[in-house]
Amino acid sequence: MEFVTLGTSNVKVTRIIFGAWAIGGWMWGGADRKDAIKAIHKSLDLGISSIDTAPVYGFGLSEEIVGEAIKGLRTEVQILTKYGLVWDRKIGDFYFSTFNNDGKPVSIYKHAGKESIIHECEQSLSRLKTDYLDLYQIHWPAPSTPIEETMDAMNRLIKDGKIRSAGVCNYSVEEMEVAETTINLVSNQVPYSMVRRDIENDLIPWCMKHHKSILAYSPLQRGLLTGKFRTGQHFVPGDTRPDTPWFKGKNLVKTNKFLEEIKPLAISKNFTVAQLVLRWTMQMPGITTVLAGARNARQVEENAGAFNFTLTEKEMCEINLKLDRLELEL
């Protein structure tokens, strides 16, 4: 398995990171705990030893499952988690209301005050059954908290040995520049896929220039780019994917047509369309590593298969030309 260094830190992670959002069940219509643990163990068996989670994924459940799965294996695993989305307190900026895995209403707030972050970190350490985190990231910008205060908390946690490095998620270039006045950020975790490429305009060039890593999440656009979804697809209650623009009407039809166009290339290499999509994402300029979620061991095996081939420059160009003709209504 290939490892890469996050920014200018000494933290190394795998080129594909196990994304643990789905195993928390929230927004995915539930999840099976046993399948999730098997998925993590399969990931480790295949050399994907970096795991990205967050407290809000299942309201603590995802972190708890990760902690259970890696018991006795801490030195073999790199743990990435987050802070800044609070559901147990009315504090900061109201984000949105939703339902937890038990179907009970819950409100989520964006808050990144110093003492709150330190409290969240202790909770994550407890759920993950560890005494340090390899990468700690703010989940979303928190408008009511000065960025300098947030990053000062990161410096304290690094000094205390609770975290090895500090990163951000969903930050703009301007927000990263402000954060950099207080701390040396190593990464920004942002959405990026064949059908969501807006960061190519500004964030990727800035991060490349300033030696910051980009962790691309949702490279398969929450499963859309596997080609397994059709118009009229049934989703279980609690699954939010049909409410997103990528899964709606013409966008779904156009995307599936594009996937059919690149399917022969995948077949010629004896790989799946999903593996081809992951490989493309990994090879795009500025992308340091890719987060690929999995809810069971079979999905982990498919994700790992993206390491078994390389796309030529000509093949990358051909795919990009097809993408340039894909006009989605987002």
Cα separations in angstroms, 219 against 3, 22, 216, 254, 301: 19, 14, 7, 18, 16
DSSP 169-234: ES--HHHHHHHTTTS---EEEEE-BTTB-GGGTTHHHHHHHTT-EEEEE-TTTTTGGGT---TT--
Indicate if the alpha-carbon torsion angle 295, 280, 70, 109 is positive or negative.
negative
Facing residues of 214 across strands? 188
- Angle between helix axes 273-283 and 313-324 (nearest 10 degrees) is 100
CB 159 within 8 A of CB 101: no
CB 235 within 8 A of CB 72: no
Cα separations in angstroms, 150 against 138, 146, 212, 218, 301: 9, 7, 19, 26, 38
Rounded CA-CA distance 127/130 in Å is 8
Catalytic residue IDs: 57
Indicate if the alpha-carbon torsion angle 109, 128, 133, 135 is positive or negative.
negative
Stretch (H or E) spanning 313: helix 313-324
Q: What are phi and psi of 211, to 5 degrees?
A: 60, 45
Rounded CA-CA distance 224/86 in Å is 29
Rounded CA-CA distance 101/144 in Å is 28
